[in-house]
Amino acid sequence: MRAKNIGKNSFFSVFSQVLIILAGFFSQRVINLKLGTELVGLNGVVSNVIAVFSVTELGLSTAIVFHLYRALADAKEEAIASLMNLYRKAYLAVAGVIAILGFGFLPFVHFFLRENHLALSYVRLIYALWVAKTVFGYLLSYKRSIVIADQREYISSLAVMAASILNYVSVIVIVMIWGKYEWALVASIIFEALINVFVILYVDKTYPYLKKLRKLPVEKKLVSSVFGDVKNLFVTRIAQKLLSCTDNLITASFISLSIVGFYSNYCLITQSLINVLQALSGALQPTVGNLIVEGDKKRDEELLGVFTFAFFFLSAIVLCGVAGMASLFVGEIWLGDAFLLPKWTVFLCAVNCMLYVMLLPIGAFVSASGLFQFEKKIAMAAAVVNLVLSLAFVKPLGLLGVLLGTLAAYVILFVGKSYGFYKLHLEKGMKGYVLEMGEYVLLSLAEALVCVYITERICQSFTIWRFFLSGMICILLPGGLNFLLFGKSKRFGSLIGFLKRYKALKK
């Protein structure tokens, strides 16, 4: 059953992300060309501001899904219903707090917008609609947690895909015909609410005891256990928001809103790739959580090594692809030369994207192990380093300095999470794992530099063949070289063995 769900979850997660990416690129192209780069930058800043307020979620979803793993494994209906009842009440409170904080900040949102030409009333309208969209999301989406914990991630993936594609289509149609982005946001709120209602109906039908036990009182012991984890996750969640949201906010405050727009276009490329691989990682996490509760630490270490090796192969191709092709895609195919960023800024974007992808396996194992108290310290250290370095470098180096702060934060996250998982869960040293990761990163960087050198010299004038050949180089060079280097290694053998066992279990 686990193998079957891994395959189904992975397929639907990746498939949905691919469709979302395609729709997202068309949507952002329309906004850039019809309404201007400043609106793209505004979207990036506003979504980051609201993401900071969303920290009031406190990490409830992570804590409750962690507890749902055991309850679902033991088939304890009352325990499952009790957790979901707690989730519902907590998310009602979260939605209320975000509404109060979000609308309370409405008069001050323009303080983050340097050198822009958008009307203040328009900025506040867009911001208010984003707040409303976020609040409705919290009110209606909490039931997705049970399908995720029960290894039915594909249900959540399909819901996200439907809502996202309807959102992007509404932007494309409404902006192209009427030029009203605010109308598209209203349509997005309606579509997302309808999709969430369908998920609620599915959950009620699949888990009928949830409705039957809706008034079951939540045990004090359970509340204490969940909120014990939440106390640790709260700090982690704050740190994660600071790390993910500060780049746009610092850039908008110290440079300009237009630069945020240019950077957001490249971020759409990197985030799209991250989302696909994160969907794959997310599809694996419920299975990792179910395996970890069984207590076989030797198998846990073996699986971490296998997943890390697999994501290294993928991240090397991602790094080479973004470094060698992102500007070619933005300038020649998608938007035009006026939207390009400097070469080394793009390369650093690619490196950060690669590091994020390589962090996914260790991050999944740390979360599934319930090491929330340790994780919060590492997350906060990374967030502080990112903020301090970004502020220190933004003036002399501009956007490049902001990205250096993010790179340093990712390094701290990797070292910290590796130490926590190996020391606290596996109860052994992490030296071998860190050295292995260092080897992967250095090799990927060397491959990326070679790819950039080759792709820049294929053809000076753009043709579709240049783009096609660049893509083949950025896939085949790292993929082929890494196969030659590791094809006979123990780690590659473990990966093939895992895939064979998965195939056998699925049959």
Residues 4-28 have pLDDT tens digits of 555 566 666 667 778 888 888 999 9
pLDDT for res 141: 75
Interval 263-314: pLDDT, tens: 999 998 998 888 888 877 766 666 676 677 676 778 888 888 888 999 999 9
Average pLDDT, integer, range 428-439: 90
Task: Measure Cα distances from 480 to 283, 313, 358, 447, 486 in Å.
Answer: 27, 10, 19, 11, 10
Q: What is the DSSP letter of 488?
A: T
Contact 407, 422 (CB under 8 A): no
Residue 326 pLDDT > 90: yes
Where is average pLDDT lowest: 190-194, 216-220, 455-459?
216-220
d(CA 333, CA 322): 15
Of 267, 260, 273, nearest to 315 by C-alpha is 273
d(CA 165, CA 188): 10
Contact 287, 306 (CB under 8 A): no
How many beta carbons lie within 10 A of that of residue 169, not counting itself? 17
For 312, residues 6+ apart whose C-beta sits below 8 A from its C-beta are: 358, 440, 444, 482
Average pLDDT, integer, range 431-448: 93
d(CA 496, CA 309): 11
Dihedral, 93, 96, 101, 107 alpha carbons, nearest 10: 180
Longest dimension (CA), the chain: 69
Average pLDDT, integer, range 188-198: 90
> Which two tokens mark 76?
């304890």
Residue 384 pLDDT > 50: yes
* Residue with more model confidence, 463 or 351: 351
Element (H, E) at 236: helix 220-254
pLDDT for res 69: 74
> Which two tokens mark 406?
């993010």
pTM reported for the whole predicted model: 0.78
Average pLDDT, integer, range 333-354: 93
Residues listed for the chain: 507
Dihedral, 448, 449, 451, 454 alpha carbons, nearest 10: 180
